[in-house]
């Protein structure tokens, strides 16, 4: 499968615990995005990377959230001291910067977080 891969697909945790999600983008895509989606809402931008550089981070992202893309390939999104309001689907997307599909976001299946 050459699509965007995310894991774990589901994560249930207790309030106050830390969680980490991983995203493996399509190999030739150098831009990678993280979005958050709650029920009945559109994807909400969190952050994005050009290769290993984090170019923008949403003001909505508190200090409890951190994302990395250390070698410009896979990315991780960590949430520290989780709160019930963090419960959502976390979507990763990648995009090529050239070619026929330039700019198109290719989404993964998402990682659903439930904070009890």
Partner 1 sequence: GENVEQHPSTLSVQEGDSAVIKCTYSDSASNYFPWYKQELGKRPQLIIDIRSNVGEKKDQRIAVTLNKTAKHFSLHITETQPEDSAVYFCAARPGGYQKVTFGTGTKLQVIP
DSSP state letters, 63-90: TTEEEE-TTSS-EEEEE-S--GGG-EEE
Spell out, one character per residue from 87 to 106, where the chain touches partner 1: x when CB under 8 A holds, - when not.
----x---x-x-----xxx-
Contact region with partner 1 (CB under 8 A), list: 12-20, 40-48, 61-69, 78-86: 40-48
Q: Which of 14, 27, 40, 99 binds partner 1 (CB under 8 A)?
A: 40
Q: Can residue 25 be called a binding residue for partner 1 (CB under 8 A)? A: no
Residue 107 in contact with partner 1, rule: CB under 8 A:
yes
CA distance 75 to 81: 20
Task: Report in angstroms the alpha-carbon separations of 50 from 15, 54, 90.
Answer: 32, 7, 19
The reply to whether 50 sits near partner 1 by the rule CB under 8 A is yes
Specify the residue for token string 């019930």.
84
| Bridge partners, 109 (sequence order) | none
Binding residues for partner 1, rule: CB under 8 A, are: 31, 33, 35, 40-45, 48, 50, 56, 91, 95, 97, 103-105, 107-110
């Amino acid at each position: 499968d050459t699509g965007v891969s995310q894991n774990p697909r589901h994560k249930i945790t207790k309030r106050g615990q830390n969680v980490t999600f991983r995203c493996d983008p399509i190999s030739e895509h150098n831009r990678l995005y993280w979005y958050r989606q709650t029920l009945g809402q559109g994807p909400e931008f969190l952050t994005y990377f050009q290769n290993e550089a984090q170019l923008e981070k949403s003001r909505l992202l508190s200090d409890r959230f951190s994302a990395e893309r250390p070698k410009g390939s896979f990315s991780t999104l960590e949430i520290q001291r989780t709160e019930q309001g963090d419960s959502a689907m976390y979507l990763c997307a990648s995009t090529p910067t050239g070619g026929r599909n330039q700019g198109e976001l290719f989404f993964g299946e998402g990682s659903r977080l439930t904070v009890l």
